[in-house]
Chains A and B, each alone.
Chain A
Amino acid sequence: MAEEKETKSIDQGTLELIEKAAKEGVNTTFDRAESIKACPIGSVGSCCKHCGMGPCRVPLPKGKEETPEDKKKRRGVCGATAETIAARNFIRMIAGGAAAHSDHGRGVAELFLEVAKGGAPGYEIKDEQKLLQVALDLGVEIGERSNNEIAADIGRIALGEYGKQAGELITLRKAPLKRQELWRKLGVAPRGIDREIVEIMHRTHIGVDQDYKSLLKQGVRTALADGWGGSLMATDLQDILFGTPAPILGQANLGVLEEGEVNIIIHGHEPLLSEMIVTVAQEPEMIKLAKSKGAKGINLSGMCCTANEILMRHGVPIAGNFLQQELAIVTGAVDAMVVDVQCIMQSVQTVAECYHTKIITTSPKARIPGATHVEFDEHDALKSAREIVKTAIENFPNRKGNIHIPDNKTDQIAGFSHETINYLLGGMFRASYRPLNDNIINGRIRGVAGVVGCNNARTKHNEAHITMVKELIKNDVLVLTTGCNAIACAEAGLLVPEAAKQFAGKGLAEVCETVGIPPVLHMGSCVDNSRILIAATAMVKDGGLGDDISDLPVAGAAPEWMSEKAISIGQYFVASGVYTVFGVTWPTTGSKEVTDYLFKDMEEMLGGMWAFEPDPIKAAHLMIAHIDKKRKALGIDQARERVLYDMDMRRELDAV
């Protein structure tokens, strides 16, 4: 029995709480993953339920090669082929993911505009420099105008991008020129964010687009509207409102909960309300109230991407990632779990009912029966925040016995935004990506990998994340991380500079020691994957590594993916020219043609392509092989001679 439990996570505290839940008869996702098997036909994309004639299941023949006759039979009632069905399912996942990120971005844009107009007390423009940068990006006049005037224009333009019908997204211009031209040439430059998502829903309706290539191209276009549109704007506007992250010390894992304090976990994805909760939790009246209830203070911690957002900006500790959300409640020490949108298990309410924990839903878009609902009102956000914190405090005396907080917490350095990396590599006066590019060229750093994504209850918690990341850094690949992978890395102690010496190859370790960075850089939440795109573009622009993202020795991965957002992210990485490996399962294997198109043809088309490999070591080596292939193409696979300059060579230099 003990052995079986060990297979569920690589984290000791997590295992302790799984055991506690079992003992206390609390059903968790780990149990459900055992009792519910994934539908074998749906999981490979061979089931279509888009009309009332179905669902139609068109599985591959079991245990033998498909014959042409078999293939002919694999059609839905309407005649849609297995290819069409797999492609439809795949791009509907993209639509779901892009909608989630982009709706998050829209919410930020709406708040942003309100702030600019003075309609959202408590919020302000925190990062003026980024405001001006974004104004330049969007073509907003700066002149002698006030920050709020500029911000109002930015907000209007940003919101406009969602409903735009023609042309292309303004922010595509942030990509390398060659990449933009490629998108235009292929006809995948998105017009408006909402329009592309709607068009997926239309095209995948019965009897519309029935060419899998055409469907997948629309998937590309929509994913780009997410990565270079909705997500990018969410990140940029959040930075302006809440500050662009800079390196900060924080902690991670369930051990951050404090038995003697009021524990509030902020779980979900958007920082809009959580920023206010962070402010309110420090108010003397609140602390006084907490003390009056017998608590020593108020202990705020985060979960999932909200955690990443408030960690990056305030150093608020992270209690855990996706698979740890129920377990946090199982500690018996969480007085309130505040949730907004995305990746919130409905079962947190069921688990909470076994303890004293109050689940507080805050988004009008996301309700859970049984939970307390305190709706976030941007016009009076502080009031909402105070009400939430008060509810938590007042719940403190209701704690039941048998509290167990695992003694596991690790330190981490987070806050590596693109702007920060630029600064860190040269200081205020020489900021640039040059040292990164230089050390990639000279081989100290072999390449860069973005390892991101969720947890998946079908696979051992955090194992693939950590195994892959360790393998990459051991091979001198610098890892950029976001989302639940970042939290996993924090829990495994990979996000401190000392990890470089312990886990990284010699070259990477030397660069880390020079700059004072961990070998794995925490860049934020899952909308912040746009930061990785911008970082890759900055590498291209700094020169010496080709003239497009697809020339860079980089790769991406989501070893424990599960959400539709992950598919959207993966697709915009691929469409930006990045080789991207997913683990756990692959949702199109029901069609060889569709899978081949994603895994092979896309490379020719876009320079990046998908791959699937559940073994994290093997996956890491696929990525390294790709990095080496790019190094060779760039001619940096072999050591170069030191160039000594004489006067003639200096004369040949271009002016700076």
Chain B
Amino acid sequence: MSKIIASAAIRGAYKIVGRAEKKWQEAMDKWGAKEPVGFPNTAYYLPVIYGMLGNKVEKLGDMEPVLKRCKSLLPPPVREEHPLPYLAPALDAGMATFFAEELIEAIRYLETPDFYTKTEDPVDGNIWLGAADDVILRKRGVEFVDGTAPGFAAIVGAAPTNEIAVKIAQELQQKNLYVFMSAEYNGKRFSEQLVEAGVQIGWSTRLVSFGPDVIATVFAAGFATRAALTFGGIEPGDYRKILIYNKDRIFAFVLPMGYVTDEWYANAAGAISWGFPVIADTPIPEVLPTGICTYEHVVSNVPHDKLVSRAVEVRGLKVAVAEVPVPVAYGPAFEGERVRGEDIYLECGGGRTLMVEWVTTKRMEEVEDGKVEVVGPELSDIEPGSRLPLAIAVEVAGREMQDDFEPIMERQIHHLINYAQGVMHIGQRNIAWIRIAKQAVEKGFKLHHIGDILHAKLHQDFGRIFDKIQVKLYTEEDKVKEVEEKARAVYGKRDVRIEGMTDEGVETFYSCTLCQSFAPGHVCTISPERTGLCGSYNWMDCKASFEINPTGPNQPVEKGECLDPKLGQWKGVNEFIHKASRGKIDHYNFYSIVNDPMTTCGCCECIAAVLPMCNGIMTVNREYTGETPCGMKFTTLAGTIGGGLSTPGFIGHGKYNTCQRKFISGDGGIQRIVWMPKSLKEEIGDRLKARAEEIGIPDLPDMIADETVGVTEEEILPFLQEKGHPALKMDPILG
């Protein structure tokens, strides 16, 4: 830390802590110590304070000790001549700044409940989103876990022009980074600049407008802290581990844009403790020696066209940027972008027209690699606001290609197309739906480019299993129908095959350590009848993934001798997990929630919990934010069982797994489910119904209670009795 920076950061910290103290005093006078405070829908209280100090701030009165701590962390100002060492005091001051900022923001939620939207995306002209709630954290956290998002840039201030803002944002998006925005410079704010330039902001496009004030920078630190608590399995209060976890695994950095005020310096000093360096566009002093961050701490005076690449280098991040030959920006950050109303140039599928996507294997001589054919009208042949039928037929050939890989590649079409800026894609197979925006067409986007994207990206990701690929895009009604009929026949065959796969029918399961980058102790084992708890990976995906990358995160596990057929335990699996969990876990059961259940990283789609009074289980999906009969919300449950623990009475599982035949079969199976949120029941309704019929209890879906019946065991038990729920007559679940 240079003397100038340290002095400024300490001054800034004093100002912010002073502001927090004043706010707190006013709030205490108005509401009193018992008034509840907090960020919306989170089990992590005020996350930086909770993570660093272990303090749960639930009421205004709880803020007092935190304020005291802030003050004790504030060092004396740096002396001009013969200063005492200032790096450590400045870092402490940065920490005090974050604590104080969380207090200020929590009081803001209390004083002005509508200040922030509390949503993923801007609502009715309010672009300030505020703290990410736990639903967002977990949903986005999965992207951090699987590598689709390696980190984030915290942009403080504003760019000199809207054009530069858009360029920097897009460059960060193309590097798959999240952009967290706060503060203003020269009356401008980065997020407002993007909105003015017509860019869609919000969590969906990874351009997150936290707040208008520099204080909101703390939401970025809160997000990072919760990542360590949620996925790293680190205990609150274990500040050192949380910070080192962030230094090693969360590739974030701060981009102050514009004049760096004392308050900005204070926030920068805070970020450095997390290992997040500062890359400035102004000529502030530099701090180049390494240590707290992996490389430089403060790099300055970087020209705007070099800012992102310099930041990525300073942070020590390697980003594989997709080289895709399309005239629009491309990357996962554009996946969540919407194309609405008058922006639509072309729309296909979605019930308006017929649309189908199909990957099929051909003989080598039938495929000309890289060939893209558009049969029927192109975008240049039609008027804005048109509709067309569309068939995307992808034909692959190669010695390693197997029929089983077709659906896996086919499922990639959705996100691969969606990654293109100005293209929105929903659904798959013959229920696909695509919209192409006018802005994309203006930049020269054509249907042909869909073929180019698929050729480039499928080669990049699946190059090991096929040699050649060609894409045909049909926009003529009869051709589309023809493709759809052929495809439909194949879909049917595939479904039968997948449905017929059993754990007994294979000798090899697959491990999934994809999330060990974030949850180092956790290891999933995926069998045909127990798909990954994150919902992203089934057995077939793992198999393909292994073929593509033999040293990657999905390794074959010879299941070996069966130690317990009922609960689902195998010797080979036990040996594998012992090693892969670095000795943390030496066995678990695939089919039981009661006896040594499988571990979870914390990014599971659903969590099931035993309800002893009802002699059954409940399950809750992460989108459901309400109370549940086990007494915990999803987010509290995830916090309790995440981080690679085996917790009897609880399991994490995928939505799909709920209706698989082996779902907790060791404890009695699906007929144990006595409660799930209404939305989940609707989402998996068809398969739930089919499975209920299969086990001879066709009314089961109606016997399962939901939040409209009650959110405590006492409330739902009479309902279960009235409906004659089968769980009530089963053997005691807790033997």
Q: Which residues of A contact B (CB under 8 A)?
A: 247-249, 411, 413, 423-431, 434-436, 438-439, 442, 444, 496-498, 510-511, 513-517, 642-651, 653-656
| With contact pairs A425-B291, A650-B249 given, residues A644 and B83 touching in the complex (Cβ less than 8 Å) | no
Among the 9-residue stretches B132-140, B311-319, B471-479, the one with 4 or more Cβ atoms under 8 Å from chain A is B311-319
25 contacts between A and B (CB under 8 A): A248-B84, A249-B79, A413-B82, A413-B84, A426-B291, A429-B52, A429-B240, A430-B240, A430-B273, A431-B88, A434-B292, A435-B290, A435-B292, A436-B291, A515-B88, A516-B6, A644-B316, A644-B318, A645-B251, A646-B319, A648-B552, A655-B582, A656-B232, A656-B234, A656-B248
Q: Mark B44-83, 1 if CB is under 8 A from A, else 0.
A: 0000000010000000000000000000010000110111
Question: Could you say which of A514, A644, A655 contacts B2, with CB atoms under 8 Å apart?
Answer: A514
Contact A647 B150 (CB under 8 A): yes
Cβ of B84: which chain A residues have Cβ within 8 Å of it?
247-249, 413, 516
Determine chain B's interface SS by DSSP, over half rule: loop
Cα of A430 to Cα of B297 in the assembled complex, Å? 14
Given A647-B517, A656-B245, A656-B248, CB of A511 within 8 Å of CB of B85:
no
Chain B positions within 8 Å of A430 at CB level: 91, 240, 243-244, 273, 292
Minimum Cβ distance to chain A for residue B361 (Å): 29
State whether the Cβ of B239 lies closer than 8 Å to any Cβ in chain A: yes
Q: A249-B79, A435-B292 are in contact. List 11 more A-B contacts (CB 8 A).
A: A413-B85, A427-B91, A427-B92, A427-B273, A428-B88, A514-B287, A514-B289, A515-B1, A515-B85, A643-B316, A645-B316
Across the interface, name the chain B residue whose C-beta is closest to A499: B82
* Least Cβ–Cβ distance between A461 and chain B, in angstroms: 25
B243 touches A429 (CB 8 A): yes
Query: Is A645 a contact of B88 with CB atoms below 8 Å?
Result: no
- Flag if A514 contacts B95 (CB, 8 Å): no
Cross-chain contact of B92 among A428, A496, A513 (Cβ < 8 A): A428
Query: Given the complex, which residues of A lie within 8 Å of B520, measured CB to CB?
Result: 653-655
Interface string of B272-293 (1 = CB under 8 A from A): 0100000000000001111110
Contact mask B474-518 → A, CB, 8 Å, 1/0?
Answer: 000000000000000000000000000000000000000110110
Query: How many angstroms from the CA of A648 to the CA of B150 in the assembled complex?
Result: 11
* Contacting pair B85 A429 (CB below 8 A): no
B186 CB to nearest chain A CB (Å): 30
| Residue tally, chain B, CB below 8 Å to A | 59
Q: Which residues of B have CB within 8 Å of A444?
A: 289
Q: Let me know if B318 and A423 touch, CB within 8 A.
A: no
**Least distance between A500 CB and chain B CB atoms (Å):** 11
A423 to B317, CA, bound (A): 28
Closest-by-CB residue of A relative to B246 is A656
Give Cα A656–Cα B275 distance, bound, in whole angstroms.
Answer: 14
Contact present for B88 and A425 (CB under 8 Å): yes
CA of A455 to CA of B232, assembled, Å:
55
- Cα A353 to Cα B91 in complex, Å, equals 54
A424 touches B249 (CB 8 A): no
Q: List A contacts of B248 (CB < 8 A).
A: 650, 653, 656
| Bound-complex Cα distance A656 to B520 (A) | 9
- B residues with a Cβ closer than 8 A to A are 1-3, 6, 52, 73, 78-79, 81-92, 94-95, 147, 150, 232, 234, 239-241, 243-245, 248-249, 251, 273, 287-292, 295, 297, 313, 316-320, 513-514, 516-517, 520-521, 552-553, 582
Nearest A residue (CB) for B239: A429
The 6 closest A-B pairs by CB, nearest first: A435-B291, A427-B91, A655-B520, A647-B147, A644-B318, A516-B86
Q: Once bound together, how far apart are the Cα atoms of A343 and B469, in whole Å?
A: 87
- From known contacts A439-B291, A444-B289, A653-B248, infer whether A424 and B87 are also in contact, taking CB-CB under 8 Å: yes
Residue of A nearest to B73 (CB): A428
- The distance in angstroms between the C-alpha atoms of A425 and B86, with both chains bound, is 10
Could you tell me if A656 and B241 are in contact, using CB atoms closer than 8 angstroms?
A: yes
Contacts of B92 in A (CB 8 A): 427-429
B317 touches A515 (CB 8 A): no
Closest approach, in angstroms, between the C-beta of B143 and any C-beta of chain A? Answer: 11
Interchain CB contact (< 8 A) of B82 among A429, A498, A644: A498
Give the distance to chain A from B447, nearest Cβ to Cβ, in Å: 33
Whether B88 lies near A427 (C-beta < 8 A) is yes
Q: Which B residues are CB-close (under 8 A) to A426?
A: 87-88, 91, 273, 291-292
CB neighbours (8 Å) of B90 from chain A are 427
In the docked arrangement, what's the CA distance between A135 and B287, Å?
39
Closest chain A residue to B238, Cβ basis: A656
Contact at B82–A423, with CB atoms within 8 Å? no
Contact: A510 with B89, CB < 8 Å? no
Q: Given the complex, which residues of A lie within 8 Å of B290, measured CB to CB?
A: 435, 438-439, 442
- Contacts A511-B289, A516-B83, A644-B316 hold; do A651 and B91 have CB atoms under 8 A apart? no
Contact across chains for A427 and B251 when beta carbons are under 8 A apart? no
Among A444, A510, A656, residue most surrounded by chain B Cβ atoms (within 10 Å) = A656
- Are A651's CB and B291's CB within 8 A? no
Bound complex: CA A516 to CA B517 (Å): 35
Residues of chain A with a CB closer than 8 A to B79's CB: 249
Q: Which residues of chain B are within 8 angstroms of A515 by Cβ–Cβ distance?
A: 1, 85-88
A424 to B6, CA, bound (A): 13
How distant is the Cα of A650 from the Cα of B149 in the complex, in angstroms? 13
**In-complex Cβ contact of B517 among A249, A510, A650 (8 A):** A650
Question: Contacts A425-B88, A514-B2, A645-B316 given: A497-B289 contact, CB under 8 Å?
Answer: no
In the docked arrangement, what's the CA distance between A424 and B52, Å?
A: 19
Cβ distance B230 to chain A, nearest Cβ, rounded Å: 15
Closest Cβ neighbor of A508 among chain B residues: B289
Question: B82 to A645, Cβ gap below 8 A?
Answer: no
- In the bound complex, how far is the Cα of B92 from the Cα of A444, in angstroms? 25
Please, how many angstroms separate the alpha-carbon atoms of A320 and B248 in the complex? 48
Residues of B contacting A438 with CB < 8 Å?
289-291
Whether A646 contacts B582 by the Cβ 8 Å rule is no
Closest chain A residue to B288, Cβ basis: A510
Question: Which residues on the A side are within 8 Å of B292 (C-beta)?
Answer: 426, 430, 434-435
Q: Which residue of A lies closest to B146 (CB)?
A: A647
What residues of chain B lie closer than 8 Å to A642, measured between beta carbons?
Answer: 295, 313, 316
Q: Which residue of B lies closest to A437 (CB)?
A: B291
| Known contacts A411-B82, A642-B316; A651 and B553 CB within 8 A of each other | yes
Contacts of A413 in B (CB 8 A): 82, 84-85
A423 near B517 with CB under 8 A, answer no
Alpha-carbon distance between A424 and B240 when the two chains are bound, in angstroms: 15
Contact residues in B for A655 (Cβ distance below 8 Å): 232, 520-521, 582
Complex alpha-carbon distance, A651 and B6, angstroms = 35
Contacts of B313 in A (CB 8 A): 642, 644
Chain B proximity of A554: nearest CB distance (Å): 18
Asked whether A651 lies within 8 Å of B318 as measured between CB atoms, the reply is no
A651 with B516, Cβ < 8 A, contacts A427-B273, A645-B317 known: yes
Chain A residues, Cβ within 8 Å of B2: 513-514
**Nearest Cβ in chain A — how far from B221, in angstroms?**
12
